[in-house]
Structure 1
Amino acid sequence: MPVLAVPFARWAPLVAILLSIPSFDAAALSKRDTAAVEALDQRMAAAEQRYREALVKAGNAEPGAIEQSNAAIEDMEDVVAACMKQKGCQVNDQMAAFKRLLKLNTDAEAAGEEAWDEGDPMDADPDHAGDVALSADVPEAARAAALLDDRSHRFDKMVQYNPAVQAGIRRWLTDMRPSLMDSYENYEYLRQVMWPSFERAGLPEALLFGIMAKESNGKVHATSRAGAAGPMQFMYATGKRFGLGDDGTGFDTRYDPRAAAEASASYLNQRLEQLNHSIELSLAAYNGGEGRALRVYRDSSGRGFWDADVYNQFPAETRDYVPMVIAAAWLFLHPKQYGLHFPRARTRPAQLKLEKPASIYELTICLGNGGTRDGFMRALRNLNPRYQADSWLPAGTTLRATAQIAGLYDRHCVRGARAELAQQLVMSDPAAAVVHVGSATPVTGTPTVTPMVPGPTTIATGVATPAAGPREHRVARGDTLVSISRRYSCDTKILAKANDLKGPRYAIHQGQRLKLDECTK
């Protein structure tokens, strides 16, 4: 995270002056002198506030932060110089302000430091280290987890660091490095809701990360061609066995990171119990089917995954999957050994209440990058899996976010040039750019609609429910279902379903009347 680091040399002259001036007793002052002293105090307070605001801007990678901080310090210098000449002005009293700002500057510098080069390069990242307490009532997986304790590197002894795993590490560090970095950054936002399930089950966090990195790269809405869904890629039938599926609102909880992590931990516990606590065989079951893994294990008299007779009975996809998950977990535990600096995101949780209707697309634009590489669309989607990116959410909708996102929303998304630009971009209709020469009919017609007050947001889709009576739009030349849905702040798929339109073309014709009961405008 960028921080505003003002060298002590910049402060030193002021500190020296302040320390060298003796204090003196306040004498009776004239009204003019009293007013002058009060004015200097107000100038100092204002300069201190501007410096604090500059620190916030620097934290959000906003332009002009350094310039603002330097200007604030210069104002303080002017105040000190004026105070030395003003009768009754206690220069030593200004020390309190400077002490506060010096501490603020030191804390900011410390927060930005990464101690990547300290200690044994084989040590686990302290953020990932954790103890597993074993007792008679601990889940079966805890006995395997005891061998995966991050601090003592028993993970290294539990899994084989063989050429297949080494090749997996090579792939993660070369062609697949961007995917690894994306996975880690996505996981940082999800960690608070996913890791507790694995911790309660006695499972190592590295295993959670390795599976998620290989399965979905930490994209909550990932869906495979085979039908696996969510961050942990559960098939429908398997997910249903572990409590995942339609929650009654139309939302599939396989996409819920908290529920998916809990189901994944339960699934792995069962496999570990059946398969002699073997991480490799449990991963093979996760990918290649638990029935196959159990049959192979029993037929081989309990031999391990890397035994040729066992290994060759799994499909090529599973033979690739197992070492790749272990490789990602290994890098999660030992980044320093490989010169790997994982990105650090500012993920302190916060709630964001919309002050006006918006979509995640619109929020992504107005929020900007905030010091990140890719902005906040993936974070918002992952934290709010029930909403599609283009679904219009009415004012009052509460989203899960971070403190940084909430702060950027207040500054850039409620009002102002960037908020207006973001709204213009998401509402833009490519068809409106086409001009039909000689046609008296405009490309997009002017709709005749009954005004509607947005109703409550549905849990499954985030689309506002209708507040009153039937409404419709008459299709004009050049209209598309996408342009109509944007015009009325309506989800395209919901609008299509309401009017019995079939995908993927969603064909409509001029003069057709479309029902707008699911729209917010």
Structure 2
Amino acid sequence: MSRAATCSAFRARRLPVCLLLAVAIVPFLAVPEASAQSRRDRASADALQARMDQAELRYREAMVRVRNEEPGAAAEGDAALEDMEDVMVECGRQRGCDPVAYVTTFKRLLKAGADSANVPAEGEEADPFDPDPDGMGTLPGGASVPAGAQAAALLTDGQRFATMVQFNPAVQEGIRRWLTDMRVQLLTSYENYQYMRPQMWPNFEKAGLPEALLFGILAKESNGRVHSTSRAGAAGPMQFMYATGRRFGIGPDATGFDTRYDPYAASQASASYLTERMRELDNNIELALAGYNGGEGRARRVFNEGGTNFWDESVYSQFPPETRDYVPMVIAAAWLFLHPRRYGLEFPDVDTRPAVLALQKPATIYELTICLGSSGSPPGYMRVLRNLNPRYRADEVIPAGTQLNATTRVVNLYNRWCTRGSRAQLAHELVRSDPANAVVRLGALEPMPMAGAATPAPVTGTPAAPAARRHRVNRGETLGRIAQRYGCDLGALARANELRAPSYAIRPGQELTLAGCSG
């Protein structure tokens, strides 16, 4: 049996057989004579001990990640166990290294495995009516968690989302909605979040806030779309109002870009905002979320008047209906983030390994979306590119040589499909197409043929007029589309008409000077 097969029990969260075998074989390993140990031998033995310590740490971290349902965690745990076995074998060959000394390490891991044996194995059903199915109702030392303090407990331990949702009908209703009518939004939110996780999660982690809370807010606020805006003026993945965003360091920067749309900046501001609310609301998550949605002034006033439990009728009734819905929906999304398997929920497994995409030729995100296709992601990669590169509009021509944030899969697809060939040509022609050219007038050129179509016979009669050097803006046009139509450099066109990035605001009827254009 291979080591991979031996350690496969890790994936089922049962006691790994390979640990038992390792402990069993230790007494039979020959220990090289230690008395003749040289300085080099001691250094080698110390290096083996360091490797064992590091492998143990990796294994423990993987166990935590497996309990949190994180992709790739089981494989990381198996790799760590294999490293421990390698160290044991090498120790048996190294002068002065005593394999018996490593028994303590394996005993610690065996005990950890036994302590977690009450966790349901893969394929086993947890009772959804169990009042404490995950041990969430106890704190270190065995003390019970009072009902009113359960949600706040997660602030000090990201692995313990301690709200007892099965006893809260409002949160149960939220779970029901996420699993039925809003299931697509939940899965989309999760996929969008996975791509942005390296930018967003570290800010919450530094603030001591759980990742599940970050996901719950993101899912409810924007479904993980960084350019999301509301009728009230909230913007970005975490939906900050303009004034609140300015208080926490986000808003228009020197270039005119609104950093509320930037995942890193928005999550940093959100973590700071929640930390401030928690500090003044005695670490009450429900009230902090109510303040996030319904106004911090209202939450502060209610709390100062003695309202310490959001679910008390006297407190609950003081918040608007939107906030009463918002709080349980965020908590429900966070709960499902931690416990998808219990509810038969399978989050998408996406390849989010970050990479840099260097454009070999000018392109828009629209054009890239078309040529990349949907290999590995049924929805395609438009949202990925927009979320990772929020400074660019989808129709903006991005110059060659620009480095975009992407993933390894996106880079591979770009090199295969977007630099040359029929698909690249088709994508380019599609984004350059102008609906106005669908109507053919006497003396005008025929619309440009699609890739692969037969070239129409030349139009006889009046020759085509030379390309205009000015353009009158039509309703619905953007500067990016005008630049594509005339083959303009977007920056030169904007400067010639005194338009500021990133909005490049133009209006119908406006006359533009076509500077930097080839068409």
Q: TM-score range by the shorter chain?
A: 0.5 to 0.7
Aligned residues: 363
CA distance 1:121–1:191, shift in 2 (3 Å) = farther
Residue type of the alignment partner of 1:420: Q
Asked if residue 179 in structure 1 is aligned to residue 185 in structure 2, the reply is yes
Asked if residue 313 in structure 1 is aligned to residue 311 in structure 2, the reply is no
Alignment match, 2:364: 359
Q: Which ranges of structure 1 fall in alignment gaps of 5 or more residues? A: 1-114, 133-140, 450-471
Determine if contact 2:473/2:507 at 8 Å carries over to the other structure.
no
Alignment match, 1:507: 509
Alignment match, 1:155: 162
Alignment match, 2:388: 383
Q: Deviations over 1:192-251 (max 9, x none)?
A: 100000000000000000000000000000111111110000001111111111121111
CA distance 1:426–1:303, shift in 2 (3 Å) = same
- SS of the equivalent of 2:356 reads strand
Match of 1:433 among 427, 430, 438: 438
Deviation of 1:303 after TM superposition, in Å, equals 2.7
CA distance in structure 1 between the aligned counterparts of 2:427 and 2:212, rounded to whole angstroms: 38
Residue type of the alignment partner of 1:440: G
Q: How does 1:99-498 map to 2 (within 5 A)?
A: 117=123, 144=152, 146=154, 149=157, 151=159, 153-157=160-164, 161-299=167-305, 301-436=306-441, 439-442=442-445, 448=467, 472-473=469-470, 484-487=482-485, 488-489=487-488, 498=497
Determine if contact 2:472/2:508 at 8 Å carries over to the other structure.
no
Determine if contact 1:222/1:229 at 8 Å carries over to the other structure.
yes
Determine if contact 1:149/1:155 at 8 Å carries over to the other structure.
no
Residue type of the alignment partner of 1:156: T
Percentage identity across paired residues of the two chains:
59
Determine if contact 1:495/1:518 at 8 Å carries over to the other structure.
no
Q: Deviations over 1:368-388 (max 9, x none)?
A: 001211000000000000000
Q: Deviations over 1:385-411 (max 9, x none)?
A: 000010001110000000000000000
CA distance in structure 2 between the aligned counterparts of 1:441 and 1:350, rounded to whole angstroms: 46
Determine if contact 2:496/2:513 at 8 Å carries over to the other structure.
no
Q: Deviations over 1:257-301 (max 9, x none)?
A: 0011011001101111111111100000000000100001111x1
CA distance in structure 2 between the aligned counterparts of 1:118 and 1:489, rounded to whole angstroms: 61
Q: Deviations over 1:285-342 (max 9, x none)?
A: 000000100001111x143000000000001110110011011101101101110000
Alignment match, 1:460: none
- SS of the equivalent of 2:406 reads strand
CA distance in structure 1 between the aligned counterparts of 2:246 and 2:171, rounded to whole angstroms: 32
Deviation of 1:440 after TM superposition, in Å, equals 2.8
Q: TM-score, normalising length from structure 2?
A: 0.63
CA distance in structure 2 between the aligned counterparts of 1:185 and 1:406, rounded to whole angstroms: 18
Q: TM-score, normalising length from structure 1?
A: 0.63
**RMSD of aligned residue pairs (Cα, Å):** 3.7
CA distance in structure 2 between the aligned counterparts of 1:197 and 1:331, rounded to whole angstroms: 22
CA distance 1:430–1:171, shift in 2 (3 Å) = same
CA distance in structure 1 between the aligned counterparts of 2:420 and 2:333, rounded to whole angstroms: 43
Alignment match, 1:5: none
CA distance 1:497–1:172, shift in 2 (3 Å) = farther
CA distance 1:202–1:484, shift in 2 (3 Å) = closer
Residue type of the alignment partner of 1:261: S
Q: How does 1:11-30 map to 2 (within 5 A)?
A: none
Residue type of the alignment partner of 2:291: A
Residue type of the alignment partner of 2:396: S
Of the structure 1 ranges 160-169 and 424-433, higher mean CA displacement relative to structure 2 is found in 160-169
- SS of the equivalent of 1:350 reads strand
Deviation of 1:480 after TM superposition, in Å, equals 6.6
